């Protein structure tokens, strides 16, 4: 599957975007670790859907947005991105803070989206546990806490196995700064979000790793209870990165869900 890189201008900000595949449009929103580009799961999904994977403002190769203060700003931005890119009622899939952004988009404008896939989204305060304070740990510590078992991850070496180049380290730091801008307080959640989730009638798939040490799996239950049309699939022996840790199983779940008849 051939992907191309595009720069799409939204509200004065250049948004670096991976575009590829065939079929109905699918908007893919990345997590705090940044846009990892065309990885194994994405290629498999792109056989069935035209994937649009923008890099959030302030991350990677996209322009700055120092004025943003929260994930709700990011959600409004990506609704605008859909207009700019000409995406009409796409499916949306978001991971971690990207999943949180997708949930915010859905409560703001449910009619603008088709099906919704939330992968270990932040956004809700766990009822008993805590969301890991990622800023309290170094990027290297986080790398190891993010996944369940590096040995089972097919793309581990290419994604995490090498020491970062200075340019890559700069991007990691920039991603971290923008994440801090968007999520510092209240930390990684929006106390008002749960009140709006019942508005979202869109069919929604929630995917979580049983061993997620970043956002506890109980948040998956909370999302499922609050969303009227949601199912929760929990992957065993999986941490916070289902698409990377179990790419084949994850891609199959997504393709089956998006291809299902309503």
Which three-class secondary structure state does DSSP give residue 231?
Answer: strand
Question: What is the closest distance, in whole angstroms, from the C-beta atom of residue 174 to other proteins in the complex?
Answer: 10
Between 118 and 182, name the residue whose CB sits nearer to other proteins: 182
Number of residues this chain uses to bind other proteins (CB under 8 A): 12
Stretch 110-149: interaction string toward other proteins, x if CB under 8 A: -------------------------xxxx-----------
Q: Indicate whether 184 belongs to the interface with other proteins (CB under 8 A).
A: yes
Among 78, 176, 189, 240, binds other proteins (CB under 8 A): 176
Question: What is the closest distance, in whole angstroms, from the C-beta atom of residue 69 to other proteins in the complex?
Answer: 9
Between 127 and 184, name the residue whose CB sits nearer to other proteins: 184
| CA–CA gap between residue 90 and residue 22 (Å, rounded) | 13
Q: Please choose, out of 72-80, 152-160, 176-184, 248-256, the segment that lies near other proteins by the rule CB under 8 A.
A: 176-184
Among 14, 177, 211, 221, binds other proteins (CB under 8 A): 177
Among 4, 162, 185, 261, binds other proteins (CB under 8 A): 185
Question: What is the closest distance, in whole angstroms, from the C-beta atom of residue 215 to other proteins in the complex?
Answer: 19
Residue 214 in tokens = 């970043």
Q: Indicate whether 180 belongs to the interface with other proteins (CB under 8 A).
A: yes
- Which DSSP string do the residues of 143-183 spell out, in sequence order? HHHHSS-GGG-TTHHHHHSSPPPHHHHHHHHHHHHHHHHHH
Tell me the pairing of strands 50-54 and 3-10.
Answer: unpaired
Residue 23 in tokens = 């079929």
Residue 88 in tokens = 């009409």
- The helix or strand, by DSSP H or E, that contains position 13, with its residue range, turns out to be strand 13-21
Q: Indicate whether 73 belongs to the interface with other proteins (CB under 8 A).
A: no
Return the DSSP state at 114.
S
Question: What is the closest distance, in whole angstroms, from the C-beta atom of residue 136 to other proteins in the complex?
Answer: 6
Q: Indicate whether 165 belongs to the interface with other proteins (CB under 8 A).
A: no
**Residues 6 or more apart in contact with residue 49 via CB below 8 angstroms:** 21, 22, 23, 24, 25, 26, 91, 258
- To 5 degrees, how large is the angle CA 182–CA 26–CA 19? 85
Contact status, residue 253 vs residue 238, Cβ threshold 8 Å: no
Between 129 and 184, name the residue whose CB sits nearer to other proteins: 184
Between 1 and 180, name the residue whose CB sits nearer to other proteins: 180
Please tell me the total number of residues recorded for the chain in this structure.
262
List of residues contacting other proteins (CB under 8 A):
135-138, 173, 176-177, 179-181, 184-185
């Amino acid at each position: 599957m051939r992907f191309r890189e595009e720069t799409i201008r939204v509200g004065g900000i250049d948004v670096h975007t991976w575009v590829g595949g065939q079929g109905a449009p699918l908007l893919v929103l990345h997590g705090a670790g940044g846009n990892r580009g065309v990885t194994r799961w994405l290629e498999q999904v792109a056989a069935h859907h035209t994937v649009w994977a923008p890099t959030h403002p302030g991350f990677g190769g996209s322009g700055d947005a120092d004025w943003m203060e929260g994930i709700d700003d990011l959600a409004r931005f990506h609704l605008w991105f859909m207009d700019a890119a000409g995406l009409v009622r796409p499916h949306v899939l978001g991971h971690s803070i990207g999943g949180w952004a997708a949930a915010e988009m859905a409560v703001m404008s449910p009619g603008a989206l088709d099906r919704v896939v939330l992968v270990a989204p932040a956004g809700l305060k766990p009822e008993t546990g805590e969301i890991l304070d990622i800023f309290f740990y170094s990027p290297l510590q986080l790398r190891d806490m993010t996944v369940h078992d590096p040995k089972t991850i097919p793309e581990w070496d290419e994604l995490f196995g090498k020491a970062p180049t200075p340019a890559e380290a700069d991007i990691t730091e920039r991603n971290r700064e923008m994440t801090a801008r968007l999520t510092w307080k209240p930390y990684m959640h929006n106390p008002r979000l749960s009140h709006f989730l019942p508005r979202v009638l869109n069919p929604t798939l929630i995917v979580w790793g049983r061993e997620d040490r970043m956002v506890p799996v109980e948040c998956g239950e909370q999302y499922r209870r609050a969303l009227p049309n949601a199912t929760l699939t929990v992957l065993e022996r999986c941490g916070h990165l289902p698409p990377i840790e179990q790419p084949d199983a994850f891609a199959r779940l997504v393709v089956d869900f998006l291809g299902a008849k309503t």
